[in-house]
Structure 1
Amino acid sequence: MNRIFKRSNVVFIGKTLLKLLVLLIALSIATFALVSISPIDPIEVYASGNLSMTVEQKISLEQKWGLNDPPVIRYFKWVSRLFQGDFGISIIYNVPVINVILDKVFLSVALMLTAWVLSGIIGFLLGIVAALNKGKLVDKLIKLWCLVLASSPTFWVGILMIMFFCVKLDWFPIGFAVPLGVNEQEVTLWDNIHHMILPAITLSLTGVSNITLHTREKLIQVLNSDFALFAFAKGQTKINFVKKHGVRNIILPAITVHFATLSELFGGSILAETVFSYPGLGNVAIQAGLRGDMPLLMAITIFSGVFVFIGNFTANLLYKIVDPRIGATNE
């Protein structure tokens, strides 16, 4: 029995790694193809900031960056370097791509993690409130708010946040991760948090709707169960029932759904970072795309693919815990 269990685990891990490999290959090919057919010429973009660049210098840059090779050759050269742990040199920053990633990844992860936690807490609490007040005005307002949030683009929400909280109320800085004109040694933890609050709140709003509506439906099912009706008949209030029994029944499904929203969170972070000029990976990805920095864009694509895959993989594991029949069906 133990040997069969270990064999099934090995098969499961093998299938998971194979799926990740196929995903990364597909992402890399699609990204490379789109960059290759893009009308943006990285040489011309680079030369636009240096009007004195000669034709010979441009040719030298083409040879240095390998732009004079056919796209297929360039792709396989990139793959061969990748297997050696070399992501290439960024055209924009003129430093190894891995250095740019390591320099920016902390800001992006901190922003996304904060937004993810906020959206989970806010959505879970709103879902409980809506379920406890099913059919009442509070429930209708929460559902309406969720529908509005679900249909609102992140960049539009970010612009509204800047106009109200930054310009009108002057509560938060308009952008960036640290105050302008301040030495790095003088930047405090509060400065970093203060600059991250508004982008994190903006990004968190994109994930509130799913978790709120899902939690509401799950809790309504629990409240309509025979066990709940029996507890209410004995005089137990809805609030006490939710505290003792309801939360335990809905917390794991809520977390499972929340992990599945990581892909949306990463996509939303690109827009949020752009609106708030937040110097994370999302902002760097936009610059890499606009300036044809293929090595940097490819590395960010690989990183985002792994990030999203881990989120979906975690959600699938939690689905198996919540309902083992789902896992048996998928295998």
Structure 2
Amino acid sequence: MAGLLQISYKIGIGKNREEDNRLKVKQWTKYILGKLIKLISLLVAVSILSFVLVSNSPIDPVQSYIGADMNLVSPEQRGNIAAYWGLHDSVVQQFLNWGKNILSGDLGTSLLYRTPVAEVIQERFLASLALMSLAWVFSGVFGFILGIIAGMRQGTWLDKVIKMYCYVIASTPAFWLGLLLLMVFSVWLGWLPIGLGSPAGILTGEVTFMQRIQHLILPAVTLSVVGVSNIALHTRQKLIDILDKEFIRYARAKGEAGFRLFWRHGFRNTMVPAISIHFASFGELFGGAVLAEQVFSYPGLGQAVVQAGLGGDVPLLLGIVLFTTIFVYIGNLLADLLYRVIDPRIRRGTLS
């Protein structure tokens, strides 16, 4: 009899596990489909808005393509170029043609670089990725540390200094800070190169790793310093709220204090909002990279989008817009997934 009960118990446990696994698969399927639908809707909306704005731009793409030789090109040749690009079609037809090419995997050809847009984005993004990755890691680590120090030392001179630093940096334009760093460390002291992504006059294959790092330092510092303030201030406020909770008072009554108190009761609770803000800052990070790359003449994606906008390179501009949209969306998606790893309460909840 006991054996039969044991077998029935095991069968019941197996069925419950099976149902739990099915429920989890169903939840994850719903979650992934929901995210894909949101991404597709976002890309369609961004594509329409971007195409309308570009179509109403005062810049003539034919003139930008020809450049200084505009007077040497006959009106017939200009018309042939415009017809080749489909500029004589209506805006709606141009958008449909462009969308059809996008769905087939063809982003078009850049007018400025005379190469496929996908190749330009790939080459420039690798340079920007190194810059943004360094800045993103540094700003996250230092911002979190400063926020923890300020929160644990609330009301002290150290807390006031950190808050003042954050307020000043938050109101400082990235391009102004970049120019200041350029003047001090490159022009006056001569410690670091003035700009570019590698030394001038050297072939790409001959550039050493240390030379690339030297050219990365000032742009990365500019981006990371600007990004520290938001993370530090939000982490500080979250930690102050946590330290005011009843369970913290109970822990202090038991003799816990300092780093041990923070590590056992405050670390995870402050990590979730810090990660949320940090991953949500992908858009701000790219916006700052545009300014930093212009100041330091760094050959990244930010500089390419400025050149495409000023030069009327519509295929490249629209390609970069779509790419950055996906980039920012992936950042937010990673933050959403990491919540479930860090906070068990979210992991046990229903995916949405």
TM range (shorter): over 0.9
1:1-331 mapped onto 2 (5 Å cutoff): 1=19, 2-50=21-69, 51-319=71-339, 322=343, 323-324=345-346, 328=350, 331=352
Note the alpha carbon deviations across 1:251-289, whole angstroms, 9 max, x for none: 343223211111111111111111111111110000101
| Alignment check: 8 A CA contact 1:120 1:211 kept | yes
Instruction: Report the AA paired with residue 324 of structure 1.
Output: I
Classify the secondary structure of the residue corresponding to 1:181: coil
Classify the secondary structure of the residue corresponding to 1:68: coil
TM-score with structure 2 setting the length: 0.87
The number of residue pairs the alignment matches comes to 330
Could you tell me how far apart the structure 2 residues matched to 1:29 and 1:326 are?
39
| Alignment check: 8 A CA contact 2:101 2:107 kept | yes
Could you tell me how far apart the structure 2 residues matched to 1:261 and 1:30 are?
22
Could you tell me how far apart the structure 2 residues matched to 1:222 and 1:252 are?
13
Instruction: Report the AA paired with residue 136 of structure 2.
Output: W
Could you tell me how far apart the structure 2 residues matched to 1:263 and 1:291 are?
23
Instruction: Report the AA paired with residue 284 of structure 2.
Output: E
Tell me by how many angstroms 1:56 deviates. Answer: 2.5
In structure 2, do the counterparts of structure 1 residues 261 and 133 end up closer, same or farther at CA, with 3 Å as the change threshold?
Answer: same
Could you tell me how far apart the structure 1 residues matched to 2:60 and 2:79 are?
13
Tell me by how many angstroms 1:326 deviates. Answer: 11
Tell me by how many angstroms 1:143 deviates. Answer: 0.9
Could you tell me how far apart the structure 2 residues matched to 1:243 and 1:171 are?
39
Could you tell me how far apart the structure 1 residues matched to 2:23 and 2:203 are?
60
| Alignment check: 8 A CA contact 1:319 1:326 kept | no
Instruction: Report the AA paired with residue 27 of structure 1.
Output: V
> What is the identity percentage for the equivalent residue pairs of Structure 1 and Structure 2?
47
- For the aligned residue pairs, the C-alpha RMSD in angstroms reads 2.1
More displaced, 69-78 or 250-259?
250-259
Classify the secondary structure of the residue corresponding to 1:49: helix
In structure 2, do the counterparts of structure 1 residues 240 and 3 end up closer, same or farther at CA, with 3 Å as the change threshold?
Answer: closer
More displaced, 79-88 or 159-168?
159-168
Instruction: Report the AA paired with residue 53 of structure 2.
Output: L
Instruction: Report the AA paired with residue 221 of structure 2.
Output: I
More displaced, 82-91 or 157-166?
157-166
Tell me by how many angstroms 1:53 deviates. Answer: 2.2
Could you tell me how far apart the structure 2 residues matched to 1:237 and 1:17 are?
46
Could you tell me how far apart the structure 1 residues matched to 2:103 and 2:349 are?
33
| Alignment check: 8 A CA contact 2:309 2:317 kept | yes
Tell me by how many angstroms 1:4 deviates. Answer: 2.8
In structure 2, do the counterparts of structure 1 residues 327 and 95 end up closer, same or farther at CA, with 3 Å as the change threshold?
Answer: farther
Instruction: Report the AA paired with residue 70 of structure 1.
Output: S
Instruction: Report the AA paired with residue 35 of structure 1.
Output: V
Tell me by how many angstroms 1:207 deviates. Answer: 1.8
Could you tell me how far apart the structure 2 residues matched to 1:230 and 1:72 are?
66
Could you tell me how far apart the structure 2 residues matched to 1:193 and 1:317 are?
32
TM-score with structure 1 setting the length: 0.93
Query: Structure 1: any 5+ residue segments left out of the alignment?
Result: none
Classify the secondary structure of the residue corresponding to 2:72: coil
Tell me by how many angstroms 1:201 deviates. Answer: 1.0
Classify the secondary structure of the residue corresponding to 1:19: helix
Note the alpha carbon deviations across 1:206-243, whole angstroms, 9 max, x for none: 32111101211222233334444344445444134334
What is the aligned partner in structure 1 of residue 6 from structure 2? Answer: none
| Alignment check: 8 A CA contact 2:339 2:347 kept | no
Classify the secondary structure of the residue corresponding to 2:172: coil
Query: Structure 2: any 5+ residue segments left out of the alignment?
Result: 1-18
Could you tell me how far apart the structure 1 residues matched to 2:212 and 2:263 are?
36
| Alignment check: 8 A CA contact 1:123 1:208 kept | yes
Could you tell me how far apart the structure 1 residues matched to 2:29 and 2:285 are?
31
| Alignment check: 8 A CA contact 2:151 2:159 kept | yes
